[in-house]
Amino acid sequence: MKLCRTIADIRAEVAGWRQAGQRVGLVTTMGALHAGHMALVAEARGASDRVVATIFVNPTQFGDPKDLETYPRTEAEDLAMLEAAGVDAVFLPDVGEIYPPGDETIVETTALARVFHGAVRPGHFRGVATVVTKLFNIVQADAAWFGEKDYQQLAVIRRMVRDLHMPVDIRSVATLREKDGLAMSSRNRRLPPQDRAAAPVLHRALEGAAALVARGGATVEGIGELVRQIVAEEPRARLTGLDIVHPDSFEPASGAVTGPLGLMISAEFGGILLIDQREIHP
Ligand code: PAF
């Protein structure tokens, strides 16, 4: 597995493969890899001749400097996992390589980035869209894999690729969960035991909402009430966001449920923000 720390190095590597007519798959990460990331790598491995993974803790998508500072960094373990999974090259740039002095261009989806996560973390999706554009331009993969756990991020990236005519195929992979339903996330390892035990409440709330809708006759307001009630039963959880949206436009939904909806929840557990989301269908 080749380690590339500069744009020139990764470009040279990928250019050789492309000349040989090979299909290149990409998995972008911020490191602290877990089984959820490895599911993306496995899908990319199965569908590509060559796989590139990137590890870059992107400063522009963090609002809170403390969150950026304390974000887990586990480079040696990450590289061992990627090598074992058959990744061909890893791109690990430093901040100056991605954001050179004088860098002032940003990429932003507008309406999609305003709700839910975007509303509580202003600028977050601008940071994501900008860095993902840079990584797409640097690696020039044929396809890139993203997790459905980051439902809004996936929607933002799909929209950006469509609107800016980027020649990359976006593939998604279902959320991987722990046995108790907690969505796998690099943040989970920062939860003290009592908060870790409380965190599956997010999954219970999503499942409760899905069951309510599946029974028929549900309203968006009724879903909201049920989710709030389930989360309120867990004293260690502080609900910070609840959005129920139309999946394509991310416009807030209301009234009777007549089609698929995106349900997105975020909550803090002792200061650690966790998100979970799923589509629900009548
Ligand atoms: O999902 C992530 O880990 C990040 O948001 C991404 C897509 C790697 C951009 O920094």
Indicate whether residue 183 lines ligand 1 (CB < 6 A). no
Give strand pairing partners of 180: none
Instruction: Enumerate the domain spans of the chain.
Output: 2-173, 186-276
Q: What is the pLDDT of residue 118?
A: 84
- Is residue 124 among the annotated active site residues? no
Indicate whether residue 58 lines ligand 1 (CB < 6 A). yes
Q: What is the pLDDT along the chain (282 residues), one digit of tens a residue?
A: 999 999 999 999 999 999 999 999 999 999 999 999 999 999 999 999 999 999 999 999 999 899 899 998 999 999 999 999 999 999 999 999 999 999 999 999 888 888 777 887 899 999 999 999 999 999 999 999 999 988 899 999 999 999 999 999 999 999 999 999 999 988 898 999 999 999 999 999 999 999 999 999 999 999 999 999 999 999 999 999 899 999 888 889 999 999 999 999 999 999 899 999 999 999
Q: To which CATH superfamily is domain 186-276 assigned?
A: Pantoate-beta-alanine ligase, C-terminal domain (3.30.1300.10)
Q: What is the pLDDT of residue 149?
A: 87
Ligand 1 centre from 78 Cα, in Å?
15
Give strand pairing partners of 175: none
Given phi > 0 = left and psi -120 to 50 = alpha, else beta, which region is 89? beta
Q: Is 217 annotated as a binding residue?
A: no
Ligand 1 centre from 224 Cα, in Å?
28
Whether residue 265 contacts residue 239, with contact meaning beta carbons closer than 8 Å, is answered with yes
Distance of alpha carbon 82 from alpha carbon 52, whole angstroms: 10
Ligand 1 centre from 261 Cα, in Å?
24
Residues 139-178: b if buried by 16+ CB within 10 A, e if exposed: bbbbbbbbbbbbbbbbbbbbbbbeeeebebebebbebbbb
Fold of the 2-173 domain: Rossmann fold (3.40.50)
